[in-house]
Structure 1
Amino acid sequence: MRSIKEKLIKKKTFIKYLISYMLVFILPILLILFHFYPETTKIIKKEAQNSETVLLSQINDYVSIQVDSLFNCASAIHLSRDITSNLFFKGSEFNTLLIMEELKKIAGTNPFIERAFLYSASNGKFYSHTGTISEEEFGKHGSYFYYENWQQKDIINLINQTSNLVIRPSEKVILPYGNSINAVTFIIPIPLGSSLPYSVLMIVVEEKSFFSFMKNEFETHNGNIIILDSNNVPIVKKENAEYLYTEDFISLLENFDTDGFMQTKLLGVDYIISVLKSDSPAFTYVSLTPVDALLEELNITKRNTLFLVFIIVAAGLILIAFAMIINYRPINIIKKHILSRSEEWLSNTDDFQLIQQVIMKLQNENKELVNRILLNKNIVSEYFLIQFINGNIDNEKGFVEYADEYGIILKDKVCCFAFYAMDRNTLQLLNGFNEMLKLNSDLSAGYLIKGMRQEDFILILTFDSEKDIKRYYEMLYKMISQTSGNIKIGIGTIEDVQDANKAYILSLVALENAIIEDDVAVLFYDEINLEQNDNLMIFFDYIKTLEIAIYRNDLKQMRFSMDNIIRLIRTGIKNVFRLKTVYITAYNLFIKELKKYGVDRNFIYDVHEMKNFDVEYAVTCLEDLYRLLSERIGMNKDSCDRGLPDISEIILYLEDNYSDCNLSLQYMACKHNTTYSNFSHYFKKNTKENFSTYLERIRMRHAKELLRSDMPIDKIALVVGYTNSNSFNRAFKRQEGTTPGEFRKIHAGNK
């Protein structure tokens, strides 16, 4: 018993939700049933009342017409020229035939009439369409026509005393050959209303003739239909029910002054009663329908429906329980796993609350992980930009496309802004940068990184045309006006994207001069008119010459450029900050080239890493790096072309495989088992063109052919070897001076 209780406690959450699901399933069904059957019963009763009202109205119309026709028969006899009161005093056969012919017209032409007799007190005879009967024989028991419960003498006495219409309720009448019917007898004096009528018309109407016009409805009717006279005496009835003679029924009728309906009990049976009152004739039509008979089919349907609902509910509950067991299994597994791994979760906690707490914990951990990923992504992007502006990315590797992988868009031109907060309050700088970076568009883009030397931040602007960055200048001066002149900004020269390092170094020089001059907030490098700056520009020319010599493996030119750089460091530049900047630029150039030969050295980014700068020590370091690089170049120079195929084969391969997005200088070097530098030098020596430029030109040639078709531009980009349309658009504009879309419009217009 205890083990069962413990199991129930452990499964309390399961049981709770199982019961709730079952209630959710059952309650709507029960509500529908409790609403449906009472409403259906009301509707059926209402429809029954309407139906009974229509039925009684039809019976009234029919009976009124037929009763009026009976009165018309009496009037026709009275007004007939052939039949007068004298005929009854003259006992000739001719007179008898005249009367018989008139009665034949009445009985023979109206199916409502079963028998018609004309009585004359003057001669004591009853005339019919078949002959005459003496009053002594008429209605006598055993004769061919008589009433079972109405004696012959009573008939004669009533007829002789009649001066107004008399209607006898339905009673049993014996016809010839032993046949019998239930019939209503109409006794009409002629003339009607006279105190001394000369004859009396006696018409017998079979009871069922009152309903003959609606035989089908009458037979299928579930209740009783009664026609009563002005004294509420039943004249015609469908069924001879016991309640017709009770005081309850009589008092019930007296309560109806007009037409209406009600539901009541008579002799313990519930009836729906409809009443219709008529003035001519003064009849009351009553319909009594047992409620049980009316709802019999509904009750059968109700029982069948309840049984079916019970089966459906039982099956549904079984399915719910089965589904709960299956669907709850993972929850039990998770719960078991949670409780086995951690003791901090309470075992008596609701299962879903327990899982919710764990999910919340996982969500928090996931948010932290996402933040770390985003932070790492930002760090990686910033690292690329640092390498980019320090000149540590090889131009031959297509760093414009490489930048796309970091979400960085590089245009043809670049300019660097170096920022420095005089009061060291960098928060005001960040607020301004947020607004400035909102100006990024397809024409220009700005990227902000943390400063590496004396600057606080570096803004890198990349664009195709100088007019595209005017908005940044406007925002820059707006930011200065909002910071009360506490910001110093140095702006470098506009350079090709390959010379981003130069643009960065010159922005630092401009910033240095802006810091020295108190009344200057923004200083462009071009505005500095100092001899040292001329030496700095000469240095960049030497660096450019050195890069070209290294690329060509020209040791003689390398030595010449190196000597010029050493001389400039020793004698040409006096400012320590600029000396450090020049040294770092040259140092990082050698490190970048040595990495191609597998020599792993670290770059220098921060001037502050060199606390005690010594010129001779710097020269010695550069000479060591130069010697190491020269040895690597010399070792590979002799074997540079060894093992490489004829240049025509390489060009043919490029023509056949230009659509491969993985096709690159590194790919071709690996394919021919040589180094990146060797293959680059071999290709440049034989084609007088860089590998990336040559491949790009092939791709653009094929792209221009496809642009003359209806192929979408993004699909053309994939076909000619670009991973996305942005890279393709920039390359196309670089080669053709226009975008693919503009090229297509121009040539479409020429067509």
Structure 2
Amino acid sequence: MISLVQVAFSNFKFRSLFFRILFLLIVLVVITVLIVGFFANRYSQNVVRSEVKQSSFQMLEQTRRLMDTLLNDVDQITIRLAQNRAFSEALEAGAEGPSPSDVDEIHNYLLDSYITSPYMESIYVYYAASDLVQSALIGPTKSKDMDDAAWLPDYHSMQRTESRWFVREYPDNKNLSQTQVTLIRTTPWTGSPIQGAIVVNMNQQALFQIPSFRLMRQGEEIWMVSPDAKLAFNSNTGREVPVEEFAVVRDKIGSDISAFTGAFRGSEFTFTAVSSPYTGWKYVDLIPTSSLYKSSTEIQSFMLILMAFSILAAVLVAFYITLRIYSPIHSLVQMVNNKKDDWRSATPIREQSELAMLFSAFISMKEQGAEMESQLKDNWPVLQQSFLQQLIHERSKLHEERFAKFAYYQLPVTPNGFFVCVIRIDDYHTYVEKYGSFDQSLIRYFIAKLAGELSGHLYRSYPLHMESRDVILVCNLEASMTAEAFCQDVVETAERMRAAIREYLHLTVSTGIGQLHMQAGDISESYREAVDALESRAFKGYGLIAPSWLNREKNPGDHLLIRKLAELKREILLMFREEPSQSFEDELYKLSEAAEGAEGLPFPLIQHAYFQLIVEVFQRSTELGLPAHADNELADLLEKLLRLETVDDVVHFAQAYIRQTNLRFHAEKKTEPESVAQQILDYIQVNFDKEISLGGIADQLQLDPSYVSRLFRQEISITFMDYVISLRLEKAKELLRMSELTVKDIGASVGYANQRSFNRIFKKYEGMTPGEFRDIHAPKKLHRDEIY
């Protein structure tokens, strides 16, 4: 290197030529590096922006579906009450107000709704004719005597029977919050004029604070905007968004999906908004623009560093090449200037002639070109796999260009149509534990080859070799065929594949088949259809053949599953303290019935719903004193649940856990001394038909009555008197069905000396009088002494 530098500068005549060549090479290389770096950085920013936008819409859609479910559940409560017979009669009672029996029945419904909904702060019914308001805790009272009558102007603004959400101020600042979220449903359900209303006030912090904020990017927020677009609530805290902050986006939120950017909190933010077509609420996702480009900034920094190193390397390489070019030119000029007679004796500058070095360089470049061509042939399968990856993930309208690329990558195809077949290995967790990574790769390769051999007469298949549970085949029909023939032949071929894989590999696989598309640019659509069809495997089990044309539509009623599980949870928790029984097993069986109607829902949503039930049982068992198996028991349960791949497995897992926890509770309970609550339960079982009181029991135990009442309710989940009444009514119903005693005698035998009190309590809890109950449920008999 040093000798070449000395040669280059040995002659001033050619030094300017050296610098011109050097400058030209440096300019060309540096400009090339800068252009490539600029477009690479711009492309990376576009990719990041597109991915963040897609994730924002996914987050908003998740939030919208969750809030629609919660708000719809509250609205369903008002609908069921609006259709209640007692409520209809109470509305038509006139100025004198509803009857006591209707008041009692409506009160029971309001109280049950208030207790079972964690988002409900209060619930009222309003009888317009008598100007009375009845709540879940207080009987009918005049509207002017209510602490909160601020909803009446909103009610009077409603011109027809409908359901509307309002956000209003709290009266007299009696609550720490400044606003109140209220649902008003005017009644009756049909017809006019309006005769009253059902009013539900929500606990806004519990309602609007959703758990998904933990998954958001730094600085990201989701606002839930009221239907009238007056206020918004932050899902991270559940609190109201300050008015001055909400004013920035209020006027820009439309009725459909919208996205915009603007200055906010001293920096630039990106806003994405969607509206719910069911409730009228709007949802806005706010992301600091700086966080959008965080990963892009890292890429940009890397690109700048890479560009700097590239420029430095380019300068060094250009300098070296310039020396190599300049040196033989200088040598040749010297040789021409020598005398003709002694040019043969001229000694070269170096032992090897620079001209020879020049020819040697050309030969070396040729050898390098041949070596690169050989390397390209060796890497051809990698290039083919990259092209197939592009086909299934990117849709294109340039269909002819896609056909040309098939030919370029040496993948022969016909214009008869394309589809994608996804072969999914069942019970993947067991498969990974059983085989090593090398064996797994061999099995996937064998499945792909077997599929190609079995389908060769019908279509060509090009497999994607991915280290995952899926073997993806991009298929191309060999000959044109009708849609009916295609559907039949492809399914039959998939059946043969499944049988052969089971025979040779002792594995079960499920197969999803996408629709046939005639254009090469639509292959990604067929892949998406095949993957969507495979979702039904979670409901139908392993070894499934799932053609996309037989795929059921998505079930929009995902809140029905959540509501059913909530009802079963209450029943299971009430029976949890009891010994294992057939009733308890019946409730557990209903868990599988609830899942039968969930087909079409996303499988992760079903896993989450059943895990929430497991968490409730775990928390209840710990409240009752049952120690956990391990410190991270819930985390272990979640890990096991996520390994399951079918709905049946998830249901059986939940049933087994609840059953095992119940058995553990009673096994440990037998080794402990009898609790105060259990002593009271045993006493009630024997003496429920007598005049007993909690105060008398507390005196006998020498304990404070309020402490005993609280202890009983905490462990039994219901009050002392409700438990006594339930035992008395169960015995009374048994006597009404099986005995011929009079109603008065039956009431006295279960602890009610006064028949009127017995009739009143029986009707309150059962919805009918004892006589009516006997007429419906008692077996009919013939009397010999009577003529019919």
| TM value normalised by structure 2 | 0.34
Q: Max radius of gyration: which structure?
A: 1
| TM value normalised by structure 1 | 0.36
